[in-house]
């Protein structure tokens, strides 16, 4: 499979496969531990139109990844020029995003859900990465796909990956924050005011 790539692209294609296998392992492990697979994929809080649009973009992302690995020569128009130094930095950025993703999942533990819902006895998580930013999982995925687009040189992968996460960070995020505010009231509002959404600056004083 990797022999289909140019010599300069082969190590990055291999790193692409390794990093995405790590990503899948993280998600599978923590979804299983939080019993997330037993819950419905859709609920009213999500909004059907939002979910359908997200799935459609995700399908295009999967198609772009499939094309990247199966026919890199035939789909040459997918590739953009990226300096080697930038590609190497992007690999490190992607790896760091997976460390953040793992830490955020560990902090959430059984509070994690892939859809908008609160479980019985749900706690407001403010430790781990959540001490510094409100939405570390969204940030981790955004950085991961942005960096993947750079080191793979595939602009469709970067575009569709960032588009999916951007949809979550805008439309879904507003609904998520309303859900948390309704459940935790002033405690959540205090946390939201003291903690940056995405970028840990300025650092919280708590």
Residue of 35, 49, 60, 192 whose CA lies nearest to 114: 35
- DSSP codes, 77-105: GGB----HHHHHHHHHHHHHHHHHHHHHH
Residue 44 DSSP class = T
The mean pLDDT value for 112-141 works out to 86
Give all domains of the chain, ordered by start, each with its CATH number. Answer: 8-36+44-111+123-194 (1.20.120.1630)
pLDDT > 90: percent of the chain: 54
Distance CA 140, CA 104 (A): 9
Neighbours of 35 (CB within 10 A): 12
User: What is the structure's pLDDT at 9?
Assistant: 87
Query: Which phi-psi region, left, alpha or beta, contains residue 6 (left: φ > 0; alpha: ψ -120 to 50)?
Result: beta
Choose between 3 and 141: higher pLDDT: 141
- For the segment 111-126, the average pLDDT, to the nearest whole number, is 78
pLDDT tens for each residue of 150-205: 999 999 999 999 999 998 888 888 888 888 898 899 999 999 999 999 988 765 55
């Amino acid at each position: 499979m990797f022999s289909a790539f140019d010599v300069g692209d082969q190590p990055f294609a291999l790193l692409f496969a390794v990093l995405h296998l790590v990503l899948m392992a993280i998600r599978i492990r923590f979804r299983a531990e939080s019993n997330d697979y037993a819950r419905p994929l859709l609920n009213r809080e999500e909004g059907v139109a939002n979910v359908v649009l997200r799935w459609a973009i995700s399908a295009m992302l999967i198609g772009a990844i499939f094309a990247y690995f199966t026919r890199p020569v035939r789909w040459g128009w997918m590739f953009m020029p990226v300096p080697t130094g930038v590609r190497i930095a992007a690999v490190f950025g992607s790896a760091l995003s997976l460390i953040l993703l793992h830490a955020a999942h560990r902090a959430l533990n059984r509070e994690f859900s892939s859809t908008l819902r609160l479980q019985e006895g749900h706690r407001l998580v403010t430790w781990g990465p959540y001490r510094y930013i409100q939405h570390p999982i969204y940030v981790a995925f955004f950085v991961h796909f942005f960096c993947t687009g750079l080191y793979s040189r595939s602009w469709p992968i970067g575009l569709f990956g960032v588009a999916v996460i951007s949809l979550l960070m805008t439309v879904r995020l507003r609904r998520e924050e309303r859900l948390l505010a309704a459940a935790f009231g002033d405690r959540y509002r205090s946390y939201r005011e003291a903690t940056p959404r995405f970028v840990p600056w300025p650092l919280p004083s708590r």
